[in-house]
Structure 1
Amino acid sequence: MKKYIMQFKRQFIFAICLLTLAQSLTVYASVINANILNALIKRQVIQFVQQVGILLCIWCTVALIQYVSEVFEQHLIQNLDIAIRTDIVTVLTAEPYNIYNRRDSATYESWLNNDLQLINQQGFESLFIVIEDIAGALLALVTLAYFHWLLASAAAVLTGLIILLPRLLDHRLSVTSTGLTHQNEQFVSTPHDALHAFNLLYTFQSLPLLIAKVRSASVTLKYANVKRTVVQTQIGIIGFLGNILSQVILIGLAGLLAVQHLVSIGTINAVGSLAGNVFNSLGNLSNTLGLIRGTRPIFQKYVDEQAFMTASSVKPGNAQKDVPLVLQLNNVSYHYPASSILLFDHVSQTFYQGQKILLTGASGTGKSTLLKLIAGYLPLTEGTIMLSRHQISARSADYVLSKVLYLDQQPLLIQGTVRENLRLNQTFTDQQLIHQLLQMKLVTSEKDGAHFLNLQVGTDGNCLSGGQRQRLALARALLRQPEVLLLDEGTSAIDPATAIYIEKLLLNMPALTLIMISHTVHNQVLPLFSRVIDFANLTRTQDTQTN
């Protein structure tokens, strides 16, 4: 949290000034209350009316300051949220594919939403309360000393006890807060998965399972919330009891001093008000400080993510320019992290620039995994993959991705327009976009293309058919002119005539190196492949054309 406070230091200083000014006037109002009571006792009518007028002006000013302060604090909190979200996403976008995908995307959604809500409520909002409470307590102590030093001394001792006692529960609060943030992650993930499977459950008449999963996750989240609330309540009760006892002791002390004529009768009224300022503030202070400390595990999680990414990432090597693109697989072996069984063992192949490779074989044998290894998405278990005569592991991810483009079996689209999905974070003219739409037969004319660019694709592209999504993904890929295109069942949802047209288009691009997986090979395009590789036996290849 300190990092973000320093990042917005000036805004925090201004917020502190507003809060301190409001507390100064509140404390001064207590002194005016004493003056009003003393004026009544002495029957000084003019003095009484003047003090009442001053009190009214003070409270009107306090109300105005509180309004400005509340609005400014909300602006500051939202700016802090933006900064934190930006830092989180910056770390995630710098992660290699395999590191990012070790968690479900719903976990990261929880970081950006649920965790931020906890940070706002427990952290930043509580921090402003602490600043306000400390300012009010210190000013009240100074004013008590103005009336009599013994009052300030007693208040200082009681203050220390109120602050220290609730710290005994700090560890429990930290544990329950950590448990809650983890349960929030799980809660987001479980309904996300269940709702994503709605069509599957609907087909098999199993929708009650969706209800059961959401309810089970909700119950687990409930207990995590209750556990944290129990600890927070215990801290609050300790502060409340300390607050009440301290006020009673301080008012009693003021009464004794008044009996001995060491302070005026009006001082008792002021001390009651000031004691309320000090001990109400400090009674809450112990609770709010505990809440702030409870955010440490959340911030630490983000720090750990960055440290894990840094430790796991391979430093990029120097990319050598202008080297003809060649892919070489040397004794490549791979098994999933959770298994010791090799998916494939000692695969060696050479792919020359411009070659068109068809990869065939039964489902589940590792064809898609091999393409992900070539694209640098996954780390090798054994062996090396060479890109332009240099190991992929020695090149930066940006360099590899600029040369090698992998298209998944299920093309991903972001919620937005077709134009936004084609461009992503890069700049292309509408003319370039429409050209690719025409090539992929998504539109029949430039006029249709201009309208199609503004079409909303919906969540996960649900406003488009499966074939349209695949063709849009292909258009997006060809816009970037990759040197190597890894196509994983990239035309499986497209009608046969259009699929053949697109495959011929790709196969007739002389500079493009294409490695394509397909279980529905069209006879019309088979002669255009340089090689057909049976994945079950990579040493057995069929050469049909030399490039």
Structure 2
Amino acid sequence: MKLCVGKDKGILTLSVVLGAVSAVAAAFVSIILQRIVDVAVKGDVDGFSKLIIGIAVYMVALCLIGFAEALCGKVLLRNVTRNLRDRIFQGVMGKTPEEYYRSNSADYLSMIVNDVKLIEENFLVPLLLSVQMVALFLATLAILCYLSPLITVILIFFLLLMFLVPALLGKALQKRQEAYSEKLAVFTAKAKDFLSGYEVIRGFSIGGHILKKFRRENRQTANGKFRADRLVAINESLADMLSTLSIVVVVFVAAYMVLKGRITAGTLLALIQLSGTFSTPVLVIMQNFPKMTGMKPILKKLEQLCAEEPKTGPDKEPENEEAISFDRGLELESVKYGYEEGNDVLRGVDLQIEPKKKYAFLGDSGCGKTTLTKLMTGYSNRYEGSIRYDGREVREMNGRQLSSLISVIHQNVYLFDTDIYQNICLDESFSEEELRRALDRSGVAGFLDQLDDGIHTRVGENGNRLSGGQRQRVAVARALIRRTPILILDEGTSAVDQKTACAIERQLLEEKDLTLITITHHMQEELRERYDRIVDFSA
């Protein structure tokens, strides 16, 4: 509950109060019906005329209260879902890289989209409706006790029968809702994987095979939801049957009381109307209670994510923090690390990186060169040994401090679905001179004239409107414009042709004030002599 309405207690309270008032006002419609029938039976024309005016005023007030209650509910749903998505996203972004990559990005996407939608539909909406139904039930109970204690006892008996249904089905439905959430996350991950692999699917003509896999996952997901919905259907059908039966019994008993002269015809009509109103709240609560209890595992999962103390990200890092220098260099002593316990990738690495010099980490895939640079950029604090920038241990530094020292150009360049300018600046402000320098030295300036909108050309999803070489140069410009003292080129030219790769690497080697670390499994012979040191990790 706290996870959903932590910042919206005021609007929640107002929604609850208005819902309760609206429900109580609706319950008193039965008294109006009683008065109308009794006045009509007596032939009281004056009383009938006065009732019309009173009813008109009552209905206008009821309409206004209902509108205010509905509007507050919509505002509450908007605020809660928006804040919940914000908190989930913040929790995901606050993870360390090591923690982040333990889960598939589709799992995070499923939390933000699917789980929030499930919470809205199966927790928030039922919660508001249930609160309103409780008020309606209490008001109806009070009026029933006033009109006929006997009818009240009969309805309470059926009420107890109705409560047995969700008690029997609640735990089973909770398990099935949890299973459906997990299956939905798997389905989202598979769908994302298939869509991301469009080029492979098309290139190898495996569309039919992938379609079969998609249909299988889609069928299993739909069946998972159906298994939960089936229990809901059982719950609803039993509740409907008991509700109908209670109304039939009330009609017979109340009609008998009219025959005996114990109640008036107006009271009979009021009791019939109240019996429906009495069972309706219970029916609604019975239908929604299993839905809300079924959300407990999902709420617990999201609450754990949102409650975690951010380990990185803008909300963790203060604005006025100690600046980290890179005047003496980077020292690595006896660095040992493994992604899994007992399976070390790095086994006691000792290395010194001096400012403004050029280094190449050479070796086959899996030898640990990329892992070492990950640790240098704060990927994990679980390493043994020491990694120090000017004597400051990486464990003591936050993400903002590290990003002020190091820029990384990865093998698989990622570009956001916006224009080239935003992909370079990433919403930061740079001067025209800084931008021009980055464009010239990265080679981006060389192809901007070929584009219709120049630097404001949209790149498409992950830069699919640009060539591989153009994407790579945008990534270089993104790194150079920040003027960090260290730049890591992690197989950053492997996705382009040799000529383009050589040109990009040569341009970076010409940056005199830059400490360059190139990670590669194949050294360009013409560039070998331009490096101050080549560290062979295969040795």
The answer to whether the aligner puts 1:480 opposite 2:500 as a matched pair is no
Give SS of 1:467's match: helix
**Is the CA contact (8 Å cut-off) linking 2:94 and 2:311 kept in structure 1?**
no
Out of 48-57 and 460-469, give the one that drifted further. 48-57
Give SS of 1:349's match: strand
Q: Which residue of 2 aligns with 1:329?
A: 332
Amino acid at match of 2:336: S
**Is the CA contact (8 Å cut-off) linking 1:438 and 1:445 kept in structure 2?**
no
Q: Residues 152-167 of structure 1: matches in 2 within 5 Å?
A: 152-156=152-156, 158-167=158-167
Q: Aligned partners of 2:141 and 2:273: how far apart in 1?
A: 12
**Is the CA contact (8 Å cut-off) linking 1:434 and 1:450 kept in structure 2?**
no
Q: Aligned partners of 1:243 and 1:503: how far apart in 2?
A: 77
Q: CA deviation at 1:306?
A: 4.8
The alignment's TM-score, normalised by the length of structure 1, stands at 0.88
**Is the CA contact (8 Å cut-off) linking 2:331 and 2:387 kept in structure 1?**
yes
Q: Residues 384-403 of structure 1: matches in 2 within 5 Å?
A: 384-403=386-405
Q: Residues 34-183 of structure 1: matches in 2 within 5 Å?
A: 34-52=34-52, 54-55=54-55, 58-59=58-59, 61-156=61-156, 158-183=158-183
Q: CA deviation at 1:394?
A: 3.3
Q: Residues 411-490 of structure 1: matches in 2 within 5 Å?
A: 411-429=413-431, 431-444=433-446, 451-490=453-492
Amino acid at match of 2:538: A
Q: What is the CA deviation profile of residues 494-527 of structure 1, one whole-angstrom value per residue up to 9, with x for unaligned ones?
A: 5555544443332233332211023454444332
Give SS of 2:445's match: coil
Q: Aligned partners of 2:58 and 2:272: how far apart in 1?
A: 19
Cα 1:281–1:305 change in 2 (3 A) is same
Give SS of 2:529's match: helix
Give SS of 2:404's match: helix
Q: Which residue of 2 aligns with 1:32?
A: 32
Out of 268-277 and 65-74, give the one that drifted further. 65-74
**Is the CA contact (8 Å cut-off) linking 2:325 and 2:389 kept in structure 1?**
no
Give SS of 1:487's match: strand
Q: What is the CA deviation profile of residues 321-356 of structure 1, one whole-angstrom value per residue up to 9, with x for unaligned ones?
A: 54635222223334332x844434322222112221
Q: CA deviation at 1:156?
A: 4.6
Cα 1:340–1:23 change in 2 (3 A) is same
The answer to whether the aligner puts 1:507 opposite 2:490 as a matched pair is no
Q: CA deviation at 1:463?
A: 1.2
Unaligned runs of 5+ in 1: 538-547
> Could you tell me the percent identity over the aligned residues?
25
Cα 1:380–1:146 change in 2 (3 A) is closer
Q: Residues 160-239 of structure 1: matches in 2 within 5 Å?
A: 160-239=160-239
Give SS of 1:350's match: strand
Out of 382-391 and 280-289, give the one that drifted further. 382-391
Match of 1:347 among 337, 346, 349: 349
Q: Aligned partners of 2:30 and 2:253: how far apart in 1?
A: 17
Q: Aligned partners of 2:312 and 2:406: how far apart in 1?
A: 22
Q: CA deviation at 1:188?
A: 0.3
Amino acid at match of 1:438: D
Amino acid at match of 1:336: Y
Q: What is the CA deviation profile of residues 439-479 of structure 1, one whole-angstrom value per residue up to 9, with x for unaligned ones?
A: 22212499899943321111111111111111111111122
Q: Aligned partners of 1:225 and 1:344: how far apart in 2?
A: 46
Give SS of 2:347's match: strand
**Is the CA contact (8 Å cut-off) linking 1:327 and 1:388 kept in structure 2?**
yes
Cα 1:431–1:209 change in 2 (3 A) is farther
Q: CA deviation at 1:288?
A: 0.9
Q: Which residue of 1 aligns with 2:281?
A: 281
Q: Which residue of 2 aligns with 1:529?
A: 531
Q: What is the CA deviation profile of residues 202-247 of structure 1, one whole-angstrom value per residue up to 9, with x for unaligned ones?
A: 2222122220221111111022101111221222233223322333
Q: Aligned partners of 1:524 and 1:58: how far apart in 2?
A: 90
Q: What is the CA deviation profile of residues 26-80 of structure 1, one whole-angstrom value per residue up to 9, with x for unaligned ones?
A: 2222211112221222223443454356446544554554445434422321211
Q: What is the CA deviation profile of residues 74-130 of structure 1, one whole-angstrom value per residue up to 9, with x for unaligned ones?
A: 232121111001111111111100101111111111111111111111011112211
Out of 256-265 and 35-44, give the one that drifted further. 256-265
Give SS of 2:538's match: helix
Q: Aligned partners of 1:320 and 1:435: how far apart in 2?
A: 25
Cα 1:17–1:434 change in 2 (3 A) is farther
Amino acid at match of 1:368: T
Give SS of 2:28's match: helix
**Is the CA contact (8 Å cut-off) linking 2:376 and 2:387 kept in structure 1?**
yes
Q: Which residue of 1 aligns with 2:17?
A: 17
Cα 1:533–1:93 change in 2 (3 A) is same
Q: Aligned partners of 2:242 and 2:468: how far apart in 1?
A: 66
Unaligned runs of 5+ in 2: none
Structure with bigger RCO (C-alpha 8 Å, 6+ apart): 2
Q: CA deviation at 1:381?
A: 5.3
Give SS of 2:349's match: strand
Give SS of 1:528's match: coil
Q: Aligned partners of 1:483 and 1:135: how far apart in 2?
A: 65
Give SS of 1:517's match: strand
Q: What is the CA deviation profile of residues 233-267 of structure 1, one whole-angstrom value per residue up to 9, with x for unaligned ones?
A: 22223322332233334444434544444432211
Q: Aligned partners of 1:451 and 1:202: how far apart in 2?
A: 30
Q: Residues 351-370 of structure 1: matches in 2 within 5 Å?
A: 351-370=353-372
**Is the CA contact (8 Å cut-off) linking 1:174 and 1:294 kept in structure 2?**
yes
Q: Aligned partners of 1:61 and 1:222: how far apart in 2?
A: 44
Q: Which residue of 2 aligns with 1:297?
A: 297
Q: Aligned partners of 2:427 and 2:159: how far apart in 1?
A: 55
Q: CA deviation at 1:158?
A: 4.3
Give SS of 1:194's match: helix
Q: How many residues align?
A: 535
Q: Aligned partners of 1:91 and 1:68: how far apart in 2?
A: 34
Q: Aligned partners of 2:455 and 2:114: how far apart in 1?
A: 34
Amino acid at match of 1:113: V
Q: Which residue of 2 aligns with 1:541?
A: none
**Is the CA contact (8 Å cut-off) linking 2:24 and 2:139 kept in structure 1?**
yes
Give SS of 1:336's match: coil
Cα 1:434–1:143 change in 2 (3 A) is farther
Amino acid at match of 1:346: G
**Is the CA contact (8 Å cut-off) linking 1:166 and 1:239 kept in structure 2?**
no
**Is the CA contact (8 Å cut-off) linking 2:312 and 2:399 kept in structure 1?**
no
